[in-house]
A and B are shown apart, each in its own frame.
Chain A
Amino acid sequence: MLFYNLIIRDLKLAFYSSTNFLLAASFLILILVLIPFVFNASPDSFTLLFSGFIWIAIALSILLTLDRVFNSDYEDGNLEIILISQFPIELIVCAKFISHWISNCIPIIIAIPIAGLLFNISLSDNLYIVVNIIAGSPGMVFIGAAISALTLGSKRASLYKTIIVIPLYIPFMIFGVNQESSLVLLGLSMISFIFSLFTSTYSLHLYAE
């Protein structure tokens, strides 16, 4: 099955260039480490602000890794091999989404309890945050991947991609910091999956030329 093979291949690629696996998670922790330096507040208020910090850090880490979904394969030509394989492009895109989520968001999810320790977050609060992230982060990855597919051809894509992606992340941010809205996040992820699938498929058709 190419679907499975493609996921394994992307995970291996991330694993071989071992920084890839750790990049998003370590970036996330580094952003969080900066926060106590710029806020002259008591540790208690960090606890209040923690889930907000986490969501901003996640958005930035996902943005940082977007170049690896399609761009690197597009630039070195591996995308050509993938595209003329016997497999429908929609499924290729799905495989890319899944492998990118696994290789970036799972390390993030593992890193969050550790970050929680630094900010003295209780276990149940940590659990809520992790549940929300599991519900919301796939949608953010899908949207980011779709926009990076859409902007494959532009020279300064990584800069101007940010301007397109961040407004699309606003709903995730708003619902992400609310503990009871993991179902809304799940819904947002599903909507963004459908839209990202169409957008990515369409863009790959365009850029194959």
Chain B
Amino acid sequence: MYLKIPNHFINIIQAWIPILSLLTLATFSVGLYFALFNSPPDYLQGDSMRIMYVHVPAAWFALASYSFLSFSCIAWFVFRNPNFNLFAKSIAPIGAVFTIIALVTGSIWGKPTWGTWWAWDARLTSMLVLFFLYAAYIMTWQAIANKELAAKISATLGIIGFINIPIIKFSVDWWNTLHQPATISKLSAPSIHISMLTPLMIMTFAYLLFLITLFLIRFKIEILEQKISRAKNI
């Protein structure tokens, strides 16, 4: 298991990080301007629905990050290239933070909409479970001292979580139809007006840039840490 990343690659990452950070900042400013000032309030929920522009992209990317994590784990099992494991290890804390953002904004949104902070809505509950899947993955790296072993165990866990997500989603949905009639359908507006779609798209793009920036920073740290521990071992 030797690292196949040349040194100059780290320099390239290093050069991109400030550029991407600035881009992220710029896109967020534009997106937030559109979201907060230059878009109409919802006719049912009023201004409180503006939190959607922060909430929805966070939830999307929390899920997308977990898919990325799982596919990296699968790819690691197939190709045995340790970089895939580093991908998964780098994205995990970011995905966990995005999940927290989605959970917190979701419950802030829930307060005016449902009247409570938490409504055991199927999506929020699945999000909470997703957070625990991230937590389990991150903890594995810390709980197992032997790093080679930790790599294998955490990759297995990443895949288990991926199999588990649809099962949990299905059963929580089923449970939800049983216990929680129609109150939530307010949230999933059937179609979204173009004036709301534009800020949402800009915010999604901002989140994507934010995710990539954070990912590159974490990835750089993981590579350097691996280099240090290898240097210690020799």
Contacts and interface: CB of A to CB of B under 8 A. Distances in A.
Contact of B139 (A155, A160, A166, A188): A160
A170 B144 contact: no
B74 to A, nearest CB: 14
Interface string B118-153: 000000000001001101100110011110010011
B221 interface: no
A207 to B, nearest CB: 8
Interface residues of A, number: 26
Interface string A172-206: 00110010000000001001000100010011001
Contacts of A174: 171-172, 174-175
A160 B136 contact: yes
Contacts of B149: 153, 206-207
Contacts, number: 67
A163 interface: yes
B208 interface: no
A154 interface: yes
B172 A206 contact: no
B167 A171 contact: yes
Interface of A: 150-151, 153-157, 160, 163-164, 166-168, 170-171, 174-175, 178, 188, 191, 195, 199, 202-203, 206-207
5 cross-chain pairs, A with B, having the tightest CB-CB distances, nearest first? A154-B143, A171-B171, A164-B136, A174-B175, A174-B171
Given A163-B135, A163-B136, 6 more contacts: A154-B145, A157-B143, A160-B136, A167-B129, A174-B174, A175-B174
10 contacts: A151-B153, A154-B140, A163-B132, A168-B160, A170-B171, A175-B171, A175-B174, A178-B178, A188-B167, A203-B153
